[in-house]
A and B are shown apart, each in its own frame.
Chain A
Amino acid sequence: MKHVDIVLSGVGGQGILTLASIMGMAAIIEGYDTKVAEVHGMAQRGGSVVCHVRIGEKVSSPLVMEGSADMVISLELSETLKVLQYLKSKRGVVVLNSNALPPPISMILDFQYPSLEAILEELKGIAGEVYVINAHEIASSIGSPQSANIVMLGSAWATGKLALSEESIMKAISRTFRKDAAKINQKAFEEGARIVKKLL
C-alpha cells in the first residue's frame, strides 16, 4: 500500500473533525504515517465542512489530490456532491449518510434540494462502489443520535478499504471519548459495520 486517501464531507456540528482525528489516531496506532486536514472557524457555523485523511508509509501533503481519493465519506446527503472531484474515477468508494439537512438559505432562495435517487444516478458514472447508510436512524436506535459520525466510520471500515484494523480504531475511539461515551461509540461503530457486512 502506498496511500489510502479519504475525503470526508458534511455540515459543521456533525462531528466530522472527531471522525477524521480518530482515523488519524488509528493510523498512528497501526504504525503508519498520516495527515489529517481540518476546517475550523468561520466554516464551522453550520457551513460545509470538508476534511482530508491520508494514511500511508510516508505522507507529505495534508491535502488529497483531485482524482485520487480511494474513498469519500459524506455525513450529509447533498454534501456528497461537493467532494466527488476528489474520487478516483470509477474506482473510488462512496459511503454516504442518507440523512438530508437542507440549509435554510436554500429555502429562502427556492433551491430544489436534490433527492437521494438523483444523487445515486449522478454517482453511477463516477464511483466504483456506493454504500447508502441511514446513519442517523442507526445511531438513534442505539440511543445516541450524535454518534452518526461513528456509525459512518464503522460502515466505511467494513468496506475493507481503510487499511486500518478494527482494534486500532476501537483504541482510538476509547482515547477520544470518556468511558460511557466511548462504549456507546464503539457500539455505533459495530452497528455501522454490521450494515455494510450484510450488504457485502
Chain B
Amino acid sequence: MREDREEVVLMLGNEAIARGAIEGDVKVATAYPGTPSTEVIETLVSLSKDYDLYVEWSVNEKVAFEVALAASYCNLRSLTAMKHVGLNVASDPLFTSAYTGVRGGFVIVSADDPSCYSSQNEQDNRIYGLHAYIPVVEPSSPQEAKDMTIYSLEISEKYGAPIILRTVTRLSHSRGPVKLGSVRRSSKKAVFERKPEKYVCLPANARRMRLEAIERLNAVEKEFNNSSFNAVEGESKVGILACGLAYAYVIDALDNLDLSYKPSILKLSTIHPIPKEFVARFLEDKEKVLVVEELEPLVELQVKALCHDLKLRVRVHGKDLIPLAGELTPLRVLKGLASFLGVNVELPDIKVKLQAPLRPPILCAGCPHRSAFYAIKMAVKKVKVEAIYPSDIGCYTLGYYPPLELVDTTICMGAGVGLACGFAKFTDKVVIATVGESTFYHACIPALINAVFNPSSFVLVVLDNNFTAMTGGQPSPATGVNAMGQQVKRVLPEDIAKACGVEFCKVVDPYDVDLMISSIIEAIEHVKRGLGPAVIVSRRACSLTLLRESRLGRVKLEKRAVETDKCKGCMTCIKLVGCPALIPRAGKIVIDENTCTGCGLCERSCPYKAIEVVRS
C-alpha cells in the first residue's frame, strides 16, 4: 500500500477505497468499525503517518460523519466509512449535509451487506441518496473502487455535494488486481470561513438550502451523463442494464449462455441521480431491457419512470426476474437472464446427501464473555427467577447459541438497554441485559440515563473487553490509546454509569466466576426491590489479546489440561461450557494448549475433577 510507483497490486475492495483516498488527497478519515466496512479505515490507520493523514475510530457513526464533515467545511478532503446500518445512526447529519453542501470533497462510504453475512438486516443504502438528495455511485471491481473514490472526491468538491460511494460485502471483501495511480498530496490546511447563512439550518435558511440541494443534484446528473464509469457495450434491441458488482455477474452469466446474438449491456456506475439523457439513448431502440441490481429496484423504478415520461415502448424487467432478497450470485443472475432472454439453460445439479455438521461462529476459547454468560446462567439458576435477556451487537451476540442461550433480543446498536427499560417496566420478570463496552459508548448512554429519569430496574452487564473485538480489535474509549497511536485518558463504563445516576455499580473480573455469580445475585436482589438499574462491569481483556500477550511472555496464563485417566468422556464440559479449546479425541477430551487462556470454566464444570491447571 505504501507504493508510490504505478504497478498492479492484489487489493481488497476496501483497501482499494483506502488507496483511492490516499491518491485523492483525503486528509481526514473517520469511522466506527463495522463489517463489511472496517478495512477502509484500518488500512488508512496503517498509512496515516506516511501520508500526513488524520484517522479516527470515532465513538459512533454519527460522530464519525460529523468529524469528517467539519473537515470538509474547512476545505479539506475527507472520507467517512460505515456499514449500511451505521448510516442509520449517521442519517441525521446526512440529510442536513445535503442542505449545507460541502467544500472539500466529502465521500461517505456505505458498505451494504446483502445476505446479512455480519448484520441484522440487508437494507439498500442507495435509497438514502434518493431520500437525502445525495449523489450515489457504485463500483463494480476493486480497480473501480479505487478509481471511483477519487472520482467521487472530485465530483463532491466540484459541485459542493456530499456523495455516497456504495459498496457491498462481496466487493469490499474481494481481492482483485488494482493498478496504482500516482500519489499527489497537497499541503492544504484546515480553514473554516464563518458563514452562518450557509451552515446554520434555521428554517429561513433551510428553505433556501433545499432548493440549492436540488440544484446541486441536477448539476451532478448532467455530469453523470458524461461519466467514463458508465459504458454501453454492443448493439441489440435486447438490453441489460447492470449496476455496480451485478455487472460482473452479468458478464459471467452471459458466458454461460449459448446465444446467437449478443445483448447490449449498459454498465451503470452512477446510480443516483441516474443520468437520464445517457440512459434514454440506451433505451430508445430497445424492445426489452432487464435491470440487474443488488437488493432494491432503485434503478428499475427510475428507468420505468423515464420510459413513461419519454413515452418509450420498452418492456422493462427487473425484480420480477432477479431476486429481491439475498446476495446476487452468478447463478441467480444466470437464471434471471435465461428467463428474460427466453432460452433454456442447463443448471448444475450436484446433490450432496451426506450432511456436514453445523458450524456457526462461536465465542473464542477463553472468551471473557463466555465466563460472564456462564455466571449469569448460574446466578439465575441459584435464585430461581425467570429472566429476560436483551442483548446487543458484538461478539457477545454469539451468546445466542447453545450452550449459553442468553440472548433474547438483538435489534441494533444500543437497543438492548432501551428494550431493558421497557421490559423491566411492563413485565414482572427480572431483566438482565448484556452489552459490550464499545456498544455501550456508541448508543447505550441515553437509554441508561432514561432508566434513572423514568425509573426502571434491570441488571445491565457491560462486557468490557477493552476493544471493539468483533471487527478485529480496534481501540475503544476503554483502551487508553486511539487510532493515531496516542495515549489517551481511558473512559470507563462504571464512571459513566455513576455519572448517569446509577447507584448500584460493580466492577468484576469474569474469570473470578464465584465473585461474578454473587455480584449478579446482589444485582438481581437490587432490581427486584425496584431500586433502579444495577450495572456490573465485567472487565477482562479480549482473550485474543491475552493469547498475544502470553506469547510475548508478558502474562502467564493458567492453562488447563485433562488428566486422561480421570476423564470419563461424559462431554459435560462441552455441553455446559462449549469452549472451542475442548476437543473430543478418541472418546475423551483434550484441551488445545495453543488457544486455552486458562479461564477455568471447564475445570468447574467437570464432574470427575479431571481438568487441572498445567504445571510447567
Residues of A near any B CB (own CB < 8 A): 11-12, 20-21, 24-25, 28, 33-48, 59-68, 78-82, 84-85, 87, 89, 101-109, 111, 113-114, 118-119, 121-122, 126
Contact = CB atoms under 8 A, between A and B. Distances in A.
Which residue, A43, A46, A48, A102, has most C-beta atoms of chain B within 10 A?
A46
B387 interface: no
Contact of B118 (A42, A89, A101, A126): A42
B40 to A, nearest CB: 12
Contacts of A20: 175
Contact of A104 (B38, B329, B356, B582): B582
26 contacts: A35-B175, A37-B170, A38-B174, A41-B36, A41-B38, A45-B395, A45-B398, A46-B361, A60-B141, A61-B249, A62-B248, A65-B256, A67-B347, A67-B349, A68-B256, A68-B348, A78-B357, A84-B350, A89-B349, A105-B357, A106-B358, A111-B357, A113-B357, A114-B354, A114-B357, A122-B354
A35 B174 contact: yes
Given A28-B10, A102-B584, A109 B402 contact: yes
A103 B358 contact: yes
A107 B249 contact: no
Interface of B: 8-10, 12, 35-36, 38-39, 117-118, 141, 170-171, 173-177, 247-249, 251-252, 256, 329-331, 334, 347-350, 352-364, 395, 398, 401-403, 470-471, 571, 574-575, 578-580, 582-584
Which residue, A39, A62, A118, A121, has most C-beta atoms of chain B within 10 A?
A62
Contacts of B349: 67, 89
A48 B359 contact: yes
A118 B355 CA distance: 10
A104 B402 CA distance: 9
Which residue, A38, A61, A102, A119, has most C-beta atoms of chain B within 10 A?
A61
Contacts of B173: 37-40
B117 A42 contact: yes
A126 B349 CA distance: 10
A63 B330 contact: yes
A37 B470 CA distance: 20
A107 B361 CA distance: 15
Mostly, the B contact residues are loop
A64 B249 CA distance: 10
B242 to A, nearest CB: 10
Given A87-B350, A89-B349, 4 more contacts: A36-B10, A36-B174, A43-B361, A105-B357
A79 B356 contact: yes
A124 B361 CA distance: 30
B175 A85 contact: no
Task: Give 3 nearest A-B pairs by CB, closest first.
Answer: A67-B348, A41-B35, A47-B361
Nearest to A90: B350
B177 A34 contact: yes
A41 B470 contact: yes
